[in-house]
Structure 1
Amino acid sequence: MTEPLGAGMFAGCAAHGPSPIRFGGKWTAKIIRCLEGGRRRFSELQVPLRGITPKVLTETLRVMERDGLVSRHYHPEIPPRVEYELTPLGRTLLQPMDACCAWAEAHLPAVIDARDAHENGARAAGV
């Protein structure tokens, strides 16, 4: 039998405030990949990020800037030009993301099979 989980198991993490890693952010990892090669304009980011609204892209970039992952460069031209790039801190996420991509490539068929089996089991049970 396994030991019960302790109520303070995350106490060491809580002392540092909220976690900087947002696993639920749909667009953050994709934006990081878009900026991997260097500075990009807002409109350039929208091309590969089909489906993201300008509002959500703006909000995501602001959160990433607040967290120190992205820097924003404003050029006071007519029309104004804004570019975004990964900070050194943001670049530290590239290696863990590579590991996640490698894991997904190796295990995605098993995940899809598990999802299909779960869905078929739920349907068979009438859920």
Structure 2
Amino acid sequence: MLYGAECWPTKRRHVQRLSVAEMRMLRGFCGHTRRDRVRNEEIRDRVGVAPIEEKLIQHRLRWFGHVQRRPPEAPRGRGRPRLTWDETVKRDLKEWNIAKELAMDRSAWRLAINVPEP
């Protein structure tokens, strides 16, 4: 349930929903239902699990420590960086052999980017 939680900007309602779902699972593990009226703390003690809010904070702080210890020259993000609009336009200009300064002259620009209809 906490996959990627270190980056979540959690709100109170998110934590509440997570704790409700967690307690539902823990009650199922113990074989209890809400009708049995067993307190959450008692179920947590039986299973030996910390509250999910504390686990969220732990994950967040662990990630913060990891980020703080990274060298400044370390690459940011995983994999190939996302393609930006600017990079796409630059690639298009290069592919069509058009200078970006030509965009300042509207009539010349429209002629350069015109695709003839088949």
Give the TM-score of the pair, scaled to structure 2: 0.28
Higher relative strand content: 1
Higher relative helix content: 2
Q: In terms of Rg, which structure is larger?
A: 2
- RCO higher in 1 or 2 (8 Å CA, sep ≥ 6)? 2
